[in-house]
Structure 1
Amino acid sequence: MLCGRTHIMSREKLLEMNRSLIQHGEAGTMDLADQVAKIPVEAYTDITLFEREKERIFKRLPLMVAPSCELPEPGDYKAMDIAGVPLLLTRKRDGSVGAFLNMCSHRGNPVVSGTGNASRFTCGYHGWTFKNDGDLVGVASPKDFGAVDKAELCLKKFPVLESAGLIWATLDVDSTLSIEDYLCGYDDLLAAFGFEDWILFDKRELPGPNWKTAYDGYLDFYHLPVLHANTFGSDFFNRANYFAWGPHQRLANPSKFAQRTGSDEMLDLTEIPEDDWPIDALVQGVWTIFPHISIASFYGGGGRGAMISQLFPGETVGESVTTQFYVMEREPETEEQRKGAQEQFDFLKIVVRDEDYSTGKRQHDALMSGQMGHVLFGRNEGGGQVFHQWADKLVNASDDELKDIFAAENAVAQAAE
């Protein structure tokens, strides 16, 4: 939970953003980028660039690897593969989270797969055993194997941070990039959701197009009433103001209206004291965590929910994989509520799989023809412009430059408070 000054400053920042949304909504305006941007088609199709992005973005930058509620109890673990790197997350005995290279220090075999709860992991190849804090505690047939220093053969540890009910890890054991600097204070605002106390209702994986093609959609309200006319409706809003903390962004519709918690009623925020603005208003819109996370609020099954979409590049330039986590403020209490939550989750599967990603795959296939030199991002698509600017900047930055970039961005964010 947020505490003291951090809570006050974060709430004030949320109020400030919503005041801006209301002002634009009443004036019928929106924030516009300086100009229409041209993005080279190679940004989506070039195989060499795609491999470089995996190495220099996904293996160097902190990634949001799990919501905290996916590992709620001591002993809980999750093994996953990210851009070819085997990662093991554990909830240790003291309640903290560990992030390890999921490779036995004997021959490199993954020590565990899938999810579960365990205090120890025994490698299925030769039987070496590790505690869930990474320590090597058992070498099979030690007299036959020979003397080794077990303290030097623990699972390799990745930098890890748990904040705002979310878990970040950097897939480089030697990284000196501060995860706190990288987040630029954005996690203080994400804490307004209260994810620390939420539950994981369900999750699933969806195949998608090129990772940037897929991610563009999370930063784009312009397409909503067109592509999603049959799901959200053709009269749905298509405008978005964006707010940035380094490469991380919140996008929200400029409007004075917000949904009342737990109903379809729309509230006019100008008629309500700010102290009474519902949490839905304060966190409305889409919150993105560079380079691969989208968070959007929903209501179904008797309580607040959120879809956390976790996007990773796939095996080829035209593929990606998204894990959809549906988290809820509280566990559904009745069968009817559980059915409502499941219907909401299934609806979002249809929207993303059959509309967003299906379109993205067709778009990517067309771009691979080589018949276009660039694609366009309009002045009303500033969020997408910012994303591509940061992707290009970070893929070309050295390790030292990364540290300097985010130290500076975090300093700016702190000064703004």
Structure 2
Amino acid sequence: MNRDEQVALMRQAFAHIDAGTTDLADAVSFNPVSAYTCPQRLARESALLFRKYPLLLGLSNQIPQPGDHFTDDLSGVPILVARGKDGRARAFHNVCRHRGARVAEGCGRQKNFVCPYHGWTYGLEGELRGIPDQRNFPGLDKAAYGLAPLPLAERHGMLWVQPSVGPEGLEIDAQRFLGELDAEFASFGLAGYHHYETREIRRQLNWKLVIDTFLESYHFSVLHRDSVAPLFHPNLCLFKPFGLHLREVLPRRSLESQRGLPESEWDLIPHHTIVYVLFPNTVFVMQVDHVETWRVYPTPGKVDECTMYLDFHVPNPVDSDSARRHWQRNMDLTIRTVCEEDFPASEGMQRGFASGAQTHATYGRNEPALAYFQRTVAQAVGETTPPGDAA
């Protein structure tokens, strides 16, 4: 984020604090509860959002060396991401071309991928290298039987994969996809971060409700009264849309320490939490001293269940006991806040939506990021009544 943008945001934050205001949407808006409960709506989301768009699957630091790899299945497509001997990251269907078995599990580092069913062997660039008892496959062209590739782009330390091959083939124009956010993410130096830990969390709620909880601070002073609320100015956000994506800046109370300083010395990140939604399903959080990504996926066929990966990325290697204790405390606090406060409340909302008590969820003008996200999703899946059109 460039210096002028940081100063402008801090000016906005001070103005809102002094006036007791926040960024506002143009009007109160409404979202049909069917957005969270309709199986047909979920089917469209799964087919379009989780197949046709680039998904952030991780940061480059998760596969720093040739042979490093990880697998991902939450989009519904078995995906293998690996760094080749040439240093280039690639994505493939995690599917053996012989009989369809998986060729890799989890993450790690290895020289080849060997199918556990019959031993077909693939190189790091996806090429078929070996077939046991090859004489029984006369005429088979090994060059045509490599792992099926998927579009991947590595940019600013981020790994984007599209779970299907679209009209543009294996190309993902990550710069175009990020739009105005491209330069902002370039400034964060993500390539220099280190992966600390990934946690998998499953909850009984629609996948969009997970993202909703990050998109307003209106609930802080009530739901988080005894946890994170004392750290933030409640009901205060700075919101900006970026095409499909959005940014929400949440000022911390420590911002007051900057008031007496000249603007040339103002520092945004230590005194704010910056929340991005990278469409369609990733919440990217720039915290004071680390980066969090929340990658959220629906459970196939279940409107009221989802799985998310919480990834912690930290600025320095975790190579001492004291560092490990520090980051474990941070991770545990994050998990405790969402799993003991946010998600139980959201699971209650999910049951409430299913009860028939109301036809629409209502978003106040002080929840602009939430309304924008839900409207963007609705439009992407062809909903004729996006939030705001009906009460």
Q: Please say if 1:60 is aligned against 2:25.
A: no
Question: CA–CA distance in 1 between the matches of 2:138 and 2:101?
Answer: 20
Aligned pair 1:324/2:310, yes or no? yes
- Correspondent of 1:313 among 298, 309, 330: 298
Q: Is the 8 A contact 1:24 1:254 kept in 2?
A: no
Matched, 1:278 2:267: yes
Which residue of structure 1 aligns with residue 174 of structure 2?
179
Match of 1:340 in 2: 326
The alpha carbon displacement at 1:26 in A equals: 3.9
User: Quick one: structure 1 residues 14 and 231, their matched pair in 2 at CA, closer, same or farther if it must change by over 3 Å?
Assistant: same
Moved more, 284-293 or 241-250: 284-293
1:17-55 alpha-carbon deviations (Å, 9 max, x no partner): 344334433443322111111100000000111111011
Evaluate the alpha carbon distance shift between residue 98 and residue 333 of structure 1 in structure 2; reply closer, same or farther with a 3 A threshold.
closer
Residue of structure 1 in register with 2:79 after alignment: 87
CA contact (8 A) 2:250 2:272 kept: no
- Give CA-to-partner distance per residue, 1:188-219, whole Å, 9 cap, x none: 21233222111111121111221011110111
CA contact (8 A) 1:159 1:175 kept: no
* Deviation, structure 1 residue 119: 2.2
Match of 1:193 in 2: 188
| Identity across the alignment (%) | 30
- Give, in angstroms, the shift of residue 309 of structure 1: 1.4
Instruction: Report the Cα offset of residue 258 of structure 1.
Output: 5.0
Are 1:247 and 2:281 an aligned pair? no
State how far apart, in whole Å, the 2-side matches of 1:339 and 1:355 are: 23
**What residue is the counterpart of 2:119 in the other structure?**
127
Aligned equivalents of 2:98, 2:263: Cα separation in 1:
59
Amino acid at match of 1:245: F
Give the aligned partner of residue 207 of structure 1: 202
Q: 1:186 to 1:175 in 2, by over 3 A?
A: farther
Query: Bigger CA drift: 332-341 or 98-107?
Result: 332-341
1:359 aligns with: 345
Amino acid paired to 1:311: V
Q: Which of 135, 139, 152 lines up with 1:147 in the alignment?
A: 139
Aligned residues: 377
**What amino acid is the match of 2:103?**
V
Q: Deviations over 1:223-247 (max 9, x none)?
A: 1121111211468422112112112
Aligned-residue offset at 1:343: 0.7
Provide the TM-score with structure 1 as the length reference: 0.84
Indicate yes or no: 2:284 matched with 1:295: yes
Q: 1:11 to 1:91 in 2, by over 3 A?
A: farther
Write the distance in 2 (CA, Å) between the matches of 1:235 and 1:107. 54
Give the letter for the 1:242 counterpart.
Answer: F
Measured after TM superposition, the shift of residue 290 of structure 1 is: 1.5
Runs ≥4 residues deviating over 6 A: none
Paired with 1:357 and 1:187, the residues of 2 have a C-alpha distance of: 31
Distance 2:166 2:364 in 1: 40
Normalising by structure 2, we get a TM-score of 0.90
Aligned-pair CA distance for 1:277: 2.9
Deviations 1:258-309 (A, max 9, x none): 56xxxxxx522x433444333625873212211222232445xxxx222221
SS state at 2:105 partner: coil
Gaps of 5+ in 1: 1-8, 260-265, 398-417
- Counterpart of 2:90, as a letter, is G
1:85 aligned counterpart, secondary structure: coil
Shift of 1:163: 1.7
